[in-house]
Structures are given as structure tokens and as C-alpha cells.
Amino acid sequence: MHLRSMNLARARLHFSCWGMRSRFVPARSLTSSSTPPSPSAGTSSARSRVDTIISKLPASLRPWATPLLQRPATHLTAFLILHELTAVIPLFGLFYTFHITHWNPSDMLPSEWIEAGHTRFKRYVERKGWDANGWVDSRSLVELATAYAAVKALMPLRIVVSLWGAPWFARLAVTPIVGLFGRLGGVRK
């Protein structure tokens, strides 16, 4: 049997969370060589820069940063998706809370952020034509702008939550979805 076909046959993996077989995944060579292949100069210099950055991190953060070395694109995608989710969900949740309770904490937030949110959402409502139909009143715009300012004030917490959840989200959502698109598109590695 050809060595490549043996590697492909041994490379089948099972996704335990999906219960499906994946496409062929490149496996390590079955030959036992004493010296591993040397990485290219660009890869080793980039790797050493990342290793330098990680070595400067506090010891408690190093376990969270090292998975980024293994799959940086997947983790970055997971971080960006989580970062947007931690913006959109609280935006509408806070707007709903402010609207139902008639509570407006605008005095606790910077007025520049509230004005920026009001301008942004007013333009959006006018572009959609919702103000002509009476769907959105000025109170709703102020509540939405206040929710926007509150979400903006929560930016540091959102970043921490997104960084913390990126490896988990990458493993449970991003990687299986990328694998599904690869299977549907007929992409073979």
C-alpha cells in the first residue's frame, strides 16, 4: 500500500460533538525520521516573535495565549464573532430593559457617547423610513442611544469575555462550521 494512502486512511477523525466523520485530515508521516523538517525562515521568525510576546505575559495568562499559536485564524474568527455577539445582545437587552422600566441612566454615561449613538440610530431610522410611519419615537431613540453608550462603556469587559471564550467557541462552533463548508464545497486537504 502506498505511504500516502496509508496516512490518509489513518487520518480519519470523528467529531464527537457532531457524530459525523470529517474529510481526510493530513496526518503525520508514518516514517520515523530522527530530525524533524526545518521550518522556513519566515515561519520561525514569526514564531519566535510570538514566543517572545507570550514569555512577557504573566504566568497566569500564558495558558490562555498558547492556543493562539496552534490555530490563530480560527481563534481570531471566534474572538471577532464573540466580540460582536457581546455587543449586539446587550444592546437590544439594555434597550428593552430601558423601554420597559422607563429607566434612563444617561446621567451615568458620557454625553458624547449618547449623542454619537443618537446621531447614528436617527440616521438609520430615517434611512429606513421608520420615523414617517411612527414606529420609532424620540424616547425610543434616546433609550437606544443610552444602550449604545452603556455597551460602549462595557468594552473592556466585552474584550475579556471574548478572549476568554474564544478557544471554547472556536472548538465548538467555528471549527465544525468550517469543516462543514469544506465538506459541502468538496475541499480536500
pLDDT in tens, 98-128: 999 999 898 899 999 999 999 999 899 888 8
Residue 172 within a domain: yes
Decide if 161 contacts 81 (C-beta within 8 A).
Answer: no
pLDDT in tens, 19-36: 444 444 444 444 444 455
Cβ within 8 Å of residue 15, ≥6 positions away: 21, 22, 176, 179
pTM over 0.85: no
Residue 12 within a domain: no
All three cell numbers of 117: 449613538
Decide if 164 contacts 132 (C-beta within 8 A).
Answer: no
| Three-state DSSP state, 155 | helix
Residue 77 within a domain: yes
Number of domains in the chain: 1
Task: Give the H or E element holding residue 99.
Answer: helix 72-101
**What are the phi and psi torsion angles at 21 (to 5°)?**
-90, 145
Q: What angle in degrees, to the nearest 10, is found between the helix axes of 72-101 and 138-153? A: 140
- Tell me the residue range of the domain where 106 lies: 71-185
Residue 97 within a domain: yes
All three cell numbers of 158: 466585552
All three cell numbers of 114: 449618547
The one-letter amino acid code at 13 reads L
Closest CA to 76 of 68, 84, 65: 68
pLDDT in tens, 64-74: 777 766 678 88
Residue 14 within a domain: no
